[in-house]
Amino acid sequence: DSEILAEVYLELIGGRQPDLSLNPIARTTGPDTSWRPSPRPTPLPTRLTEVETIAHATFVAKLGATAIWLKRT
């Protein structure tokens, strides 16, 4: 009885066959790069104030030359 119960449990959770399809699913590895967002025709205006921009630049300068943030901007 326990063997039958184990087999039924595996079938229910998809341990053997996750759906009713008999075709194997082709799995790919890595990120899906088939879709990319299109760039805006005109960039949005900044909502940062001049004080915020200066404060951010000061903060980034304190991080040092090897800061990861400098690679993003």
Residue 41 lies in a domain: no
Residue 53, pLDDT > 90, answer yes
pLDDT value at residue 58 = 93
Residue 27 CA to residue 66 CA, distance in Å, equals 38
Residue 3 lies in a domain: no
Q: Which residue has the higher pLDDT, 20 or 54?
A: 54
In eight-state DSSP terms, residue 70 is H
Domain, as residue range, for 60: 48-73
Q: How confident is the model at residue 17 (pLDDT cuts 50, 70, 90)?
A: low
Residue 64 lies in a domain: yes
Residue 59 lies in a domain: yes
Q: Which residue has the higher pLDDT, 34 or 42?
A: 42
Residue 56 lies in a domain: yes
Residue 4 lies in a domain: no
Q: Which residue has the higher pLDDT, 23 or 2?
A: 2
DSSP 1-67: -HHHHHHHHHHHTTSS-SSS--SPPPP--S---S--PPPPSSPPPP---HHHHHHHHHHHHHH-TT-
Average pLDDT over residues 37-45: 90
Domain tally for the chain?
A: 1
How distant is the alpha carbon of residue 54 from its chain centre? 31
